[in-house]
Amino acid sequence: MIPSGQSIHKWRSSRAARYTACLLFLAAPVIPLSAQPHQACNPQQAFGKIDGLLKDKQYDEAQAALHQLQSCHNLSALETFNLGWFYGRARDFKTALTIFKTVPPNVPDVAIHQYAVALGQFELQDYHGAVETLKGLQSQGLLDAKSANLLGVSYSKLGLYHDAYPVLTDEIRRDPHDLMAYLNLVALLVDSADFKDAADTATRATEAFPDDPEVFVVLGAADSLLGKFEKAYVDFAKAIQLAPREAEPRFLLALTDYKQRNFARAITELRSAIGSGIVDSDLHYLLAECMLQLDASKTKDALAELNQAIEINPNSVSARTLRGRLLLEEKRPKEAIVDLEVAYHIDSTSHSAAYTLARAYSAAGRKDEAKILFARLSKQFQRDLEDQNHMEIVDELSQQRLKKVLAGGSAQ
């Protein structure tokens, strides 16, 4: 039996589930970090301390403490289950699943136990296994909100959109206030290229959650995919009104202006965001792009913004690619190559980084390396990139940021 007054913990923290799930954990009675094999254990004390380590993202230390806890001989079935859950939180999913198998399937109850198993399978990218585990719950009528979301997401990961869709829509009908189901459904519709229905679903989410800034960001992203930039601008502005300190809507608001070639207004918005204390590398990168679009001679000012962007995030592919391009235009190919090699190493799928690096190699006399990179890019792409000037870098970043919004961002 689960003790009263239990606290709730997250296996992964990602508020918007899109390809994650609302991953909640009922905390356990807990185990002592200093326990020896022949000593009685104090589960509450140990789990409490490990919980603190995990909140501080000290995963190695938490795993070391968990290894010690496995030597305790006086753990109940429930405490053993919770030990497995903490292993999951510490990102050792294989050990978590191994421990769950040692516990009776009704501990703490069937629904929670099978959800934990499915979540471990999901984290190990065994989406087929997760689906089969959750379908077992579904057949027993035990599919609660978090399990329904995880089942829908698992189907989506397998590209089984027709199976995922009814799971998520049924969950929304069952609970019209399940935010995760709305967000997962939007992501599913985007993945299946049904942008209109994605925007319609996001609109329903804003009606159900009118004070949630995230749903307006998601709606703006969906509208952007439809090319409705004026509508997206309104969506992002609403999100900013609700959460003025969030970087995502501030960047995307300026991006909609950029897409509409309203560079002056975008500059004003970006400077306002930066001036308010928001720290985001992409704000500085986009500001540099806007400056150059208004006046191509503003290279010095643009480079200053790109320097700021790279100081904030040395792995910014967009900022390094644009800085490399500007250095190349200033006849400084060796310096350009430094940035461009970093960008290309981080993202070898970036056509703009590859193309600009090939040009820099050529300018530096490294013809063979240039030839290899040019060969990877179609002639049509090279012509299009030259015609677009700096637009290709923005387009790549735009797709990444929109995808991040619609997929829930980076799981932690």
SS (H, E, C) 167-235: HHHHHHHHCCCCHHHHHHHHHHHHHCCCHHHHHHHHHHHHHHCCCCHHHHHHHHHHHHHCCCHHHHHHH
**pLDDT (tens digit per residue) in 175-187:** 999 999 999 999 9
Please tell me the predicted confidence (pLDDT) of residue 387.
Answer: 52
Note whether 149 and 206 are same-domain residues.
no
What residue numbers bound the domain in which 209 lies? 194-243
Note whether 123 and 200 are same-domain residues.
no
Please tell me the predicted confidence (pLDDT) of residue 412.
Answer: 25
- How far, in Å, CA of 13 to CA of 290, rounded? 35
Note whether 43 and 71 are same-domain residues.
yes
Is 202 contained in some domain? yes
Mean pLDDT of 344-359: 93
Please tell me the predicted confidence (pLDDT) of residue 386.
Answer: 56
More confident residue, 12 or 280: 280
Q: Is 19's pLDDT higher than 70? A: no
**Pair 356, 338: CB distance under 8 Å:** no
Last residue of a domain, one of 151, 173, 190: 190
Is 169 contained in some domain? yes
Please tell me the predicted confidence (pLDDT) of residue 168.
Answer: 97
More confident residue, 117 or 380: 117
First to last CA, the chain: 30
Is 350 contained in some domain? no
**pLDDT (tens digit per residue) in 287-344:** 999 999 999 999 999 999 999 999 999 999 999 999 999 999 999 999 999 999 999 9
Is 53 contained in some domain? yes
Taking the complete model, does pTM exceed 0.75, yes or no? Answer: yes
CA distances from 224 to 148, 273, 277, 400 (A): 29, 21, 26, 13
Mean pLDDT of 63-87: 91
Note whether 203 and 179 are same-domain residues.
no
Is 346 contained in some domain? no
Mean pLDDT of 83-93: 95
Please tell me the predicted confidence (pLDDT) of residue 73.
Answer: 82
**pLDDT (tens digit per residue) in 223-272:** 999 999 999 999 999 999 999 999 999 999 999 999 999 999 999 999 99
Please tell me the predicted confidence (pLDDT) of residue 44.
Answer: 82
Q: Is 1's pLDDT higher than 70? A: no
Query: Could you tell me the pLDDT band of residue 26, with boundaries at 50, 70 and 90?
Result: very low
Compute the CA torsion angle 286, 289, 290, 294 (nearest 10 deg): 180
Last residue of a domain, one of 190, 222, 253: 190
Please tell me the predicted confidence (pLDDT) of residue 4.
Answer: 29
Please tell me the predicted confidence (pLDDT) of residue 35.
Answer: 36
Note whether 36 and 145 are same-domain residues.
yes
Give the total number of structural domains in the chain: 2
Note whether 90 and 179 are same-domain residues.
yes
- Mean pLDDT, the chain, rounded, equals 87
More confident residue, 313 or 72: 313
- How far, in Å, CA of 133 to CA of 150, rounded? 11
Is 335 contained in some domain? no
Note whether 49 and 158 are same-domain residues.
yes
Note whether 104 and 212 are same-domain residues.
no
Q: Is 18's pLDDT higher than 60? A: no
Is 396 contained in some domain? no
Is 288 contained in some domain? no
More confident residue, 387 or 348: 348
Last residue of a domain, one of 243, 261, 278: 243
Note whether 89 and 226 are same-domain residues.
no
Note whether 179 and 225 are same-domain residues.
no
Q: Is 42's pLDDT higher than 90? A: no
Note whether 55 and 173 are same-domain residues.
yes
Please tell me the predicted confidence (pLDDT) of residue 135.
Answer: 97
Please tell me the predicted confidence (pLDDT) of residue 74.
Answer: 83
Closest CA to 302 of 263, 341, 245, 357: 263
Note whether 206 and 127 are same-domain residues.
no
The domain that holds 34 is classified in CATH as: 1.25.40.10
Please tell me the predicted confidence (pLDDT) of residue 382.
Answer: 55
